[in-house]
Each structure stands twice: as structure tokens, then as C-alpha cells.
Chains A and B, each alone.
Chain A
Amino acid sequence: MSTTDFETEFETGAAACPGCSMASVAAQHARRQAGDQDETILVSLPTIHCAACINTVEQGLLALPHVKDARVNLTRKRATVHADPGTDPADIVADVERLGYEAHLLDSATLSGDAADRAGRDLLMRLAVAGFASMNVMLLSVAVWSGAEGATRDLFHWISAAIVMPAVAFSALPFFRNAWTALRAGHLNMDVPISLAILLALVTSLWETSLSGEHAYFDAAIALTFFLLTGRYLDHRTRSVARSAARELAALEVPKAWRVGADGDEKVDVATLSVGDMIRVHPGARMPVDGEITDGTSELDRSLLTGETVPVYAEPGRAVSAGEVNLTGPLVIRATAVGRDTSLHRMADLVAIAESGRSRYTSLADKAAKLYAPGVHILSALAFVGWLLYSGDLRVALNIAAAVLIITCPCALGLAVPAVTTAASGRLFRHGLLIKNATALERLAQVDTVMFDKTGTLTAGTPVLTNLEAIPPRDLQIALALAEGSAHPLSKALTQAARDAGVAPADISGITEVPGHGTEGVWQGQKVQLGRAAWVGAEPSDQTAAWLRIGDGAPQSFLFTDRLRDGAAETVAALKESGLRVILMSGDSPKAVQSLAETLGIDDWTAEALPADKADRINALSDQGAKVLMVGDGLNDTAALTAAHASISPASALDAARVASDIVLLGSSLSPLPEAIRTAGRSVRRIRENFTIATWYNIIAVPLAVAGLCSPLIAALAMSASSITVSLNALRVR
């Protein structure tokens, strides 16, 4: 047996037997101790969904020699990889993609502190304590309700008090704190009636118990705390999931650049660059800063900034902006503006002045709270005063005021919104949509107009050849041979199309790429060129095209169009079918926009729109009373995304665009969009139903409480029943 065989067998043996794997755990532990310099790489895996996916990714990564440890977290759709020092994170991403899963690199520095969600854990502990206490107290209360009397009843009340007092002091602290902050600032919020109800219930119950009274509300006080904390926790969790995912998206862009130094290039953080630095930008990379080209020629893709799809020629002396993508040849640029001063960030100023559609919106919960909080106080104060005047007994009056407060307390109201939003965001997340803003669902439900950007939103940003049939086979063979020698997106598209059509490349010698112009070679003694119009001597057109010239013959054009994004046609059709108005606004040339609009059946389209034009159009529509949903990905869309009533951007969008939007589309298909609008509509209906349910419970129980007929048993029943109905109703959204 050779050494390799032995090793393989040893490996499989170790994996197969659980006992042996203790060794592996120990080894892993040792590695963790020793390998602090190990590269920790976080990879986002938006498409993984099952046990088999976990296995494929983990086993696939562990099989690589430089990977020490790989762990997939299915909930966060993320993998943590520990690899040898010096491993290029981009390699790991490529490896995962080879396994058949979409993968994006995450910046681990941006994500640090993400694991320990302290506020959430804190709420969960309080919730657990409240749950424990309320279960035990309920048990004792059942005995009292079913007829315990005299010393037994007093004993049970005292034990309840002993459990509830410390439990409330710990669990209800967040409410007390919020109420105190609100009162000090001189206004009312939902937490004021909550705190008042809990405290008043405890005080009257203690008083009653000390007088051997019949009614004590200890169970109500702790149950109230428990239900409200549940709502609070759900709310917090939905927000923190959105927050951590938003942070994850921010971490998607790993800001690194190659600075040209005296002793070769070094890889540095973009944040450390300063004006005057020389930076090398490789083909395929994005400009990290604004600057001027000092060396090299290439082509630039500016679609994310302006929406135009035709690449721009780049030569020394030309100014470039951060965010443009270098296509063919390496460029060296001298930085003229870095960080906050770049044009990328100046665009943010445009966003700042655009009045946000978000800030104009008052959420349903806020509207309810505004009506509710004063109403509750007035009602219980009236009951107190009324009974005090009628019976002249402070004890009776206080008891009734406490009962009114407990009954009216927004238990179901506190659950009505968070339970629905949690269920709906969970559902949308499974469909690949991430809700970033708390009120985004409610706003999305009101949308009646959808405005799309073209490049990168309705289209995938990758070109496809359109006039394959019109090209003579001989030209196609030559073009294929030339295109195979280049990594330019158009060349790749040409190669793909020609290969699919079964074309064999012609025999061409001396193929060289001329960065910024094209590829040339020699075919049967003649010079052949494939590249930009100006280079081969053709008439430039406003459509994306490459030109082939053989010897001195007339140039042959290869026309390209941007490939439609997956699900774009179905989405537009579905949106129109559900009665929404669809608008297309793009910064691209009229011809390109028109052809796309015709393909998708959009009648209302605008080409060559400037960023401000898009935002103006949205504001004009809003003034007419329309609720606009903006779907866009580029920097030229950010102002429009902010101004719109609701906004969605794909995960491939620039960071600035994602920050400006409420909802992020995680997958590469647009198809979850109509479903998202439907789900939003449904969840808002559920929220309204929940409010109605809660109100009906109050309408029935409040008169009983005011009349002094409400026993602790009725209070407990009303409270639990309404909370449970509301939660069950919310679950129907899933």
C-alpha cells in the first residue's frame, strides 16, 4: 500500500467513526489556539436551503488543502471559513461557486459584534423570567378562582406576590424605563399606560391581600408583562435580522485597492488612500476613487453611474469617477478625490435633499398609539373619580381603576403589529426579499405605480449577441477566433453565442489584444481586427456593438443587447395584470430603452433621464396622489429610491443604492416582486383585523370593568384570549 492510499483511508476512517472524530475536534481546538493568524473568511450564500446544500458546501470546502474549517449557518445563509494565512478570499468564493452555489464575499470587519446581539438576549431573558412567573402564578390563581377561601386564599395570594414582585421588577424594567423617558420629556407613549397598569395592579393587589380581600391582580400584572414582552421581542428580532442583513450587504463590498509604491504594488484599504496616490486598477475591477488616468488604455463600463450600456474609451488624461468598472487593460490612475469627496459620495448629497417618502409616513401602530394612550388614561381616571364619588370608598375606586387599566392595556395591540411583521418578513425572506425598514411593508401595500430603472434592474448587465443570423459564417469564424483571446464582456458574449451556434474558430496567427480598442491578428495574410467602431474605421452607432474588419474590406457589425434579468418579463406582466401602472426610466440611449420597453410591453418610458429627472418624476407623481414603488440599482437611482413611497434594489446594486432602498432583492431574479406586493397587502389587512379584534375585546370587557363586575378571572380570560387570537391571525400571513 502506498503512502497516499494509506492517508486516504485514514482520512475516511476518521470521518466515518464518531469516536475518532474526537481527535479531529481536539485538533481543531489546537488549531484555534495556535492559528490566530488564520484567515477568517465570511461568505454569503443566498441560494442555500437544505441539508444537502450544507453538506455539499462544507465537504467541498474541507476537501481543499488550504481550508482548515468550514461551517455553514443556514439561518443566516452564510459560511464561516478558516483558511491558511495568505489565502485569497476571492478563491474561496470561486470554489463555492464551482460547487454550484451563488456566493458573495463578506467583509468580516464590518460584521464583527454581529453574533452577540446583547439587546435581544436581554429581552429574551426577561421574557423567560416573565413566562416562568406567570405560569406559576396562573397555577395558584386557578385554585383561587375555583373557590379557595380564607387562609388558603391569603396564602396563595402571598405566594403569588412573592413570585410576581421580583419577576415584574426584572421583566418589566424596559417598559418602566421607556415610560420614564417619555414622561420626563413631557409626552405620552404606549409604555406609560402599560407601566401604570402594572404598578397600579400590584399596589391594589398588595393592599387587598393585606386586608384578606377577594380580588388580587398579580396574575394579570405578570401575564400583561409576558404578552407585551413577547410583542417587544418579536419586534426587536425582526429589526435585528434586518439590521444584521443590511450590515451583511454593506460588508459585500470589500473595499481594497492596489497602490503603486516604490517597491511594487501593495493591497490596501480604500479608506487609507489619499489624493495624489497612484492606484492600479485591474481589468474587471471598480474605480476605488475619483482620478485621472496616467497610464494604459482600456474601456470603462459606466452603467452603474449613468445607466448607459455602451462602454466608454479610456486613455491617459481622461478623468474617471469612483464606481466605474475597468473592462480590458490595466490602468494606473492618480487619485484626485478620495473618500467623502468622490463623485460617488457627492451623489449622496442629492439623496439628502430629496424628501424621503419614508419620513412622510406615519405607521399604523403610531396612529393607534396616538388614539389609545390618552383614551386609556382618561377612561380609568373617570372610573376612579366616578366610583369614589358614588361609593366614597377609596379601596373600591382604586380596585376598579386598576381593573380598567388592566383590561384596556394594549396587550393585543402590542402584539398586533410585531406578530404580523415577523410572519410577513419571514415569508418574504424565504422568497429572497429582505425588509430593511420597519414601515416598508405597510408602504409597499399602498403602492399603485411601479417605476423601473433599465440597466442592471430589468436587465442583468451582461450583453448577448442579437444579429447572429445576419453575419456571414466566414466572419463569424474569424470573430470567434479573435474574441476568444479577450476577456472583454462583448468578446465573451460573442464567444458564447458563436460556440452555441456550433461555429469553429478560424485559424488566426499573432492574436494580440490592444487594450481600449479591441483584438487583432493575421488571417490568410490579411490583418483582421475586432473592436471599437473608431478603431476599425466604422461609423459609430448608439447601440452596443463590436466591429470586425478583414483587410481593407467594409467592417461587419456585431450588435449586442443587454440580457433581460431572470423573471423580468413575467414580473412586468404580473404587475400590469394586478392593475399597477408600470413606468420605465433610464439614463440609456432612446433606441436601447425603446426596444426593451417594447419587449416587455411597457408603454410609458423615458430615455436619457438624469438622476434628478427620475426623482422629479416621482415627486410629480406623488403630488398627483400616486404611491410610487421605485426599483433601481444604480447611483443615478439613489435620489429616486429615496423620494419614492417604497423602494427596492437588487443585491447587485451599489452600496449607496441599497442604503437608500427599503427592501433588497437577495436573489438574481425579479420574480418575487409581485408576490412581495401581495404579501404586503395581506399583512396590512391582518394588522387592521388585529386592531379590530383588540378593539372588540375592549368594547365587551371595558363596560364590565367600569361597572365593577370584572373579576381577575375575566381580566385573565379577556387578555389571554385576545392575545392568542391576534397571534394566530398574524400567523395566517405565513
Chain B
Amino acid sequence: MEVLSFLIPISLTLGIVGLIAFVWTVRSNQYDDPEGDARRILSDTYDDHPAEDEPPAR
């Protein structure tokens, strides 16, 4: 059962990494135009005018 002392911290750490990544995507406005982003990836032209990052409202 000693293995638990590795497994539990590891699983928690991985979960927290995922949580932080999600929080980051929310804060950097990555869900502003989900439909548009899904379609743009299919377009041949290079997207050289990416959306402007607005600072997250606090």
C-alpha cells in the first residue's frame, strides 16, 4: 500500500494542472468565438490578424 503515497499526490497534481490550464483558457478569452475558431482551422489562408487579447476583467 506504500504505492498510495505516490499515486494519490500524482493524481492530485495532474488534476490541478488540468484545472489551472482550464482557468488559463478562460482568462485568456479562448471561448469568445468557439464556432469561428472551429471553422478558421479549416481555412487555407493564414490567419494573420488574430483576435486581440483583451485583459481579463477583474
User: When chains A and B are docked, how far (Å) is the Cα of A163 from the Cα of B46?
Assistant: 45
B49 pairs with A62, CB closer than 8 A: yes
> Which of A15, A50, A140, A159 sits near B48, CB closer than 8 Å?
A15
Q: Contact at A70–B49, with CB atoms within 8 Å?
A: yes
Stretch at the interface among A127-135, A343-351, A525-533: A127-135
Q: Give B30-47 interface residues, CB cut-off 8 Å to A.
A: 32-36, 39-40, 42-43, 45-46
**For the complex, is A25 an interface residue (Cβ under 8 Å from B)?**
yes
- Option from B11, B39, B51 in Cβ contact (under 8 Å) with A71: B51
Within 8 A of A (CB), among B10-58: 11-12, 15-16, 18-19, 22-23, 26, 29, 32-36, 39-40, 42-43, 45-46, 48-52, 54, 56-57
Closest to B45 in A: A55
Instruction: Indicate if the CB atoms of A51 and B40 lie closer than 8 Å.
Output: yes
Report if A152 contacts B (CB, 8 A). yes
Q: Which residues of B contact A154 (CB under 8 A)?
A: none
Given A24-B48, A159-B8: A75 touches B33 (CB 8 Å cut-off): yes
Known contacts A51-B40, A51-B43; decide if A136 and B11 are in contact (CB<8 Å): yes
Complex Cα distance, B15 from A32, in Å, reads 38
Q: Verify A74–B43 contact, CB threshold 8 A.
A: no
* A28 contacts the other chain (CB 8 A): yes
7 contacts between A and B (CB under 8 A): A51-B43, A54-B43, A73-B32, A74-B36, A74-B39, A75-B32, A118-B57
Confirm or deny: A731 has a beta carbon within 8 angstroms of a beta carbon on chain B.
no
Cross-chain contact B23 with A125 (CB below 8 angstroms): yes
Distance between Cα atoms of A51 and B23 in the complex (Å): 28
A-chain residues with CB within 8 Å of residue B8 when the two chains form the complex: 140, 159
Chain B residues in 8 Å Cβ range of A16: 46
Residue numbers in B under 8 Å from A72 (CB-CB) = 36
In the bound complex, residues from chain A placing their C-beta under 8 Å from that of B11 are 136, 139
Task: Check B15–A132 contact: CB distance below 8 A.
Answer: yes
- A132 vs B23: C-alpha distance in the bound complex, in angstroms? 12
Contact (A132, B33) CB under 8 Å given A21-B46, A116-B57? no
Q: Flag whether A308 is at the interface (Cβ < 8 A).
A: no
Contacts of B57 in A (CB 8 A): 116, 118, 121
Separation in Å of the B6 CB from the closest CB of chain A? 14
Contacts of B16 in A (CB 8 A): 132
Cα–Cα, bound, A73→B29 (Å): 13
Scan residues 711-729 of chain A and give those whose CB is less than 8 A from a CB of chain B.
none
Q: Assess the B36–A116 pair: CB atoms within 8 A.
A: no
Q: For the complex, give the distance between the alpha carbons of A163 and B9 in Å.
A: 12
Q: Which of A15, A24, A74, A135 contacts B15 (CB 8 A)?
A: A135
List residues of chain B with CB under 8 Å of any chain A CB: 1, 4, 8, 11-12, 15-16, 18-19, 22-23, 26, 29, 32-36, 39-40, 42-43, 45-46, 48-52, 54, 56-57
**Bound-complex Cα distance A14 to B49 (A):** 12
Interface assignment of A600: CB less than 8 Å from any CB of chain B: no
The 8 A CB mask of A636-656 against B (1 = contact, 0 = none) is 000000000000000000000
Whether B39 pairs with A75 at a CB distance below 8 angstroms is no
Least CB distance from B25 to A in Å reads 10
List, in ascending order, chain A residues with CB within 8 A of B43's CB: 51-52, 54-55
- Contact of B48 with A136 in the complex, beta carbons under 8 Å: no
CA distance A633 to B17 in the complex (A): 52
Inter-chain contact B19/A73, CB cutoff 8 Å = no
In the complex, what's the smallest C-beta–C-beta distance from B58 to chain A, in angstroms?
9
CB of B34, distance to nearest CB on chain A (Å): 6
User: Are B26's CB and A121's CB within 8 A?
Assistant: yes
Residues from chain B with a CB closer than 8 A to the CB of A115 are: 29, 32, 54
| A15 nearest in chain B by CB position | B48
Note all chain A residues with C-beta closer than 8 A to B18: 132
Nearest chain B CB to A201 CB, angstrom units: 22
The residues of A that contact B32 with a CB separation of less than 8 Å are 73, 75, 115
Residues on A with beta carbons closer than 8 Å to the beta carbon of B48: 14-15, 18, 21, 24-25
Question: Inside 8 A of A21's CB, which chain B residues have their CB?
Answer: 46, 48
Complex Cα distance A32/B55, Å?
14
A18 touches B45 (CB 8 A): no
Q: How far is the CB of B41 from chain A (nearest CB, A)?
A: 9
Q: Given that A124-B26, A132-B15, A132-B18 are known contacts, is A15 also in contact with B39, CB under 8 Å in the complex?
A: no
A15:B46 contact, CB within 8 angstroms? yes
Shortest distance between the CB of A278 and any CB in chain B (Å): 42
The answer on a CB contact under 8 Å between A136 and B35 is no
What is the bound-complex CA distance between A50 and B40, given in angstroms? 9
The answer to whether A73 and B49 have CB atoms under 8 Å apart is: no
Task: List 7 extra interface pairs beyond A25-B50, A50-B39, A124-B26, CB under 8 A.
Answer: A54-B36, A58-B49, A71-B49, A73-B33, A74-B33, A132-B18, A139-B11
Cβ contacts under 8 Å, A140 to chain B? 8
Chain A positions 66 through 83: 1 when the CB is less than 8 Å from some CB of chain B, otherwise 0 = 000111111110000000
Determine how close the nearest CB of chain A comes to the CB of B2; give it in whole angstroms.
Answer: 12
Contact A136 B36 (CB under 8 A): no
**Chain B minimum-CB-distance residue to A129:** B19
Residue interface mask A82-122, B partner, CB < 8 A = 1? 00000000000000000000000000000000011010010
In the bound complex, how far is the Cα of B40 from the Cα of A70, in angstroms? 15
| Docked CA distance A159–B40 (Å) | 44
CB distance from B47 to the nearest CB of A (A): 9
Complex: A125 Cα to B42 Cα, angstroms:
30
CA distance A139 to B33 in the complex (A): 34
**B1's contact among A18, A62, A152, A159, by CB below 8 Å, is which?**
A152
Chain A residues whose C-beta falls within 8 Å of the C-beta of B45 in the assembled complex: 15, 55, 59
Instruction: Please give the distance in Å from B36's CB to the nearest CB on chain A.
Output: 3
Give A118's nearest chain B residue, CB to CB.
Answer: B57
Give the residue name and chain of the B residue nearest to A73 (CB): B33
Chain B residues with Cβ below 8 Å from A52 are: 43
Contacts of A76 in B (CB 8 A): 33
Closest to A121 in B: B26
Cα–Cα distance between A76 and B37 once the two chains are bound (Å): 12
What residues on A are CB-neighbors of B26 within 8 Å?
A: 121, 124-125, 128
Complex interface: chain B residues within 8 A of A15 (CB):
45-46, 48
Q: Return the CB mask of A19-36 against B: 1 if under 8 Å, else 0.
A: 001001100100010000
Interface centre among B8, B22, B32, B36 (most CB of A within 10 A): B36
Contact, CB under 8 Å: B12 / A136: yes
Residues of A within 8 A of B52 (CB): 32, 71
Find the B residue at minimum CB distance from A116. Answer: B57
Least CB distance from A236 to B in Å reads 14
CB nearest neighbor in B for A139: B11
Contact of B40 with A136 in the complex, beta carbons under 8 Å: no
* Complex-state Cα separation, A128 to B18, whole angstroms: 10
A51-B39 CB under 8 A given contacts A132-B16, A152-B1: yes
CB distance from B4 to the nearest CB of A (A): 8
Q: Is the CB of B39 within 8 A of A18?
A: no
Q: How far is the CB of A660 from chain B (nearest CB, A)?
A: 30
Closest to A29 in B: B52
Given A75-B34, A136-B12 in contact, is the A128-B49 Cβ separation under 8 Å? no
Q: How far is the CB of A133 from chain B (nearest CB, A)?
A: 9
Q: What residue of chain A has the Cβ atom nearest to residue B12's Cβ?
A: A136
Interface set, chain A 559-576, CB cutoff 8 A to B: none
